[in-house]
Amino acid sequence: MLRPFPHSGCPMRPALLAIALSLAVATPALAQDTAKPKYRSAKEIIDAAPASAWRDLDPANTLYMELPAGRVVIELAPGFAPEHVANIKTMAKGGFWDGLAIYRSQDNFVVQFGDAEGEEAGKAKPYPAGTKTHLPAEFTRDAKSARFDKLPDRDGYAPEVGFIDGMPAARDPKAGKAWMAHCYGMLGAGRNNAPDSSIGAELYVVTGQSPRGLDRQLSAVGRVVKGMEFLSVIPRGPEPMGFYEKPEQRAPIVSIKLASDVPEAQRTPLQLLRTDSQAFIDATEARRNRVDGFYTIPVGHIDLCNVPLPVRAPPAK
C-alpha cells in the first residue's frame, strides 16, 4: 500500500509519483536557467565597450582653452550652430581670446568670457580679419537632418530628449525642430535682447544646475569634454549676476586655439563613446535602474543632463 505523499493528504499513484519526483529533481536547474543576469555597472559596461563603440574627437571641431591652471577641451557643434561655429573658428585662428579673461562667474549658473571692455569705445579688442559682425539666431535646427538617439524617459522641457552628434539634445517631432540642451558643461553664445545680437565673441559655459529654461533662447555652440574642474572652481563674482567688479578679479585666459592649429605632439587625444552604440545604451540603462550594494531601489528614470558622455584617452596601440 502506498504511503501518502508528504503533506498531500491523499495517496499518489506510482506514475504520478515518478512525474513529481522528476519535476522536483529538475527544479534547481530550471531556477538556474531563469535567474536574472548579473547586474553590470555602467563603468563595467563602458570598460568592456569594443573599439567600434568609440569615436575620435575631431581636431578641426575642437577648441583648446588654455588657463593658468590647465587645459579645457571643448567640442564644437557645427550641426546646431554652423555660422556661429565658423565665426568662432575664425576668431580662434586670429587669437581673439588670447590674453582676455573670464569676467563672470555666477554661482550655480555659468562662467562667461570674452572682452570685458568690448562695449566701451576705444577699449574693445579688434576682431580678427574675416570675423562676421552679424549672424542669425541659431536656436534650433531641422530635426530630420540628423540621427536622434532618443532616451526612453519623459522630460519637462521637451516632447523628446536624447543625443544628436553626441550632444545632449531635445526634439519636437510635430514642429520638426531640435535643439541642444543646457546641460552642465554646455557652451553657448551670449547675446543682448535681440535674438540675432550674438556673433560668438562672448561665450559662456554652464557650471551649475542645468538651466534648461534657456533652451531655444540662445545659440548653443558646443560643450566641454575635458577640464570642467578648471572652470567650476573659479571664484564666484558678486550678486546678482556674478560679474567681477575689478579687473584683477578676472580669471585670465592664456589662449583659445583650434586643436588642428596646435602641433600634433601637443594635442590632447580623446575618444568619446558613440551615443548610438550598444555600450552607451546599456550603460544608460544601468544608470536608470542601478541596483547594487548601495542602491536598493531601481529608479527607472534618468534625466537627460544626468547622462554623462564617457570620454577616454585612446588605448595604446
How confident is the prediction along the chain (317 residues), in pLDDT tens digits per residue?
333 333 334 444 444 434 344 444 444 444 454 566 788 999 999 999 999 999 999 999 999 999 999 999 999 999 999 999 999 999 999 999 999 999 999 999 999 999 999 988 889 999 999 999 999 999 999 999 999 999 999 999 999 999 999 999 999 999 999 999 999 999 999 999 999 999 999 999 999 999 999 999 999 999 999 999 999 999 999 999 999 999 999 999 999 999 999 999 999 999 999 999 999 999 999 999 998 889 888 899 999 999 999 999 999 87
The reported pLDDT for the residue numbered 9 is 41
The residues near 262 (Cβ < 8 Å, ≥ 6 apart) are 59, 64
Residue bearing cell 530630420? 144
Tell me the HSE value of 304 on the side-chain side, using a 13 A CA sphere.
29
Overall size of the chain counted in residues: 317
Q: What gap in Å lies between CA 231 and CA 109, rounded to an integer?
A: 12
Q: What gap in Å lies between CA 193 and CA 182, rounded to an integer?
A: 19
Say if residues 130 and 268 touch (Cβ distance below 8 Å): no
Say if residues 244 and 225 touch (Cβ distance below 8 Å): no
Q: Is 292 helix (H, G, I), strand (E, B) or coil?
A: coil
Q: What gap in Å lies between CA 107 and CA 241, rounded to an integer?
A: 8
C-alpha cell at 69: 591652471
Residue bearing cell 586643436? 259
Q: What is the DSSP string of 103-119?
A: EEE-TTSEEEEE-TTTT
Q: What gap in Å lies between CA 208 and CA 26, rounded to an integer?
A: 56
The amino acid sitting at 67 is L
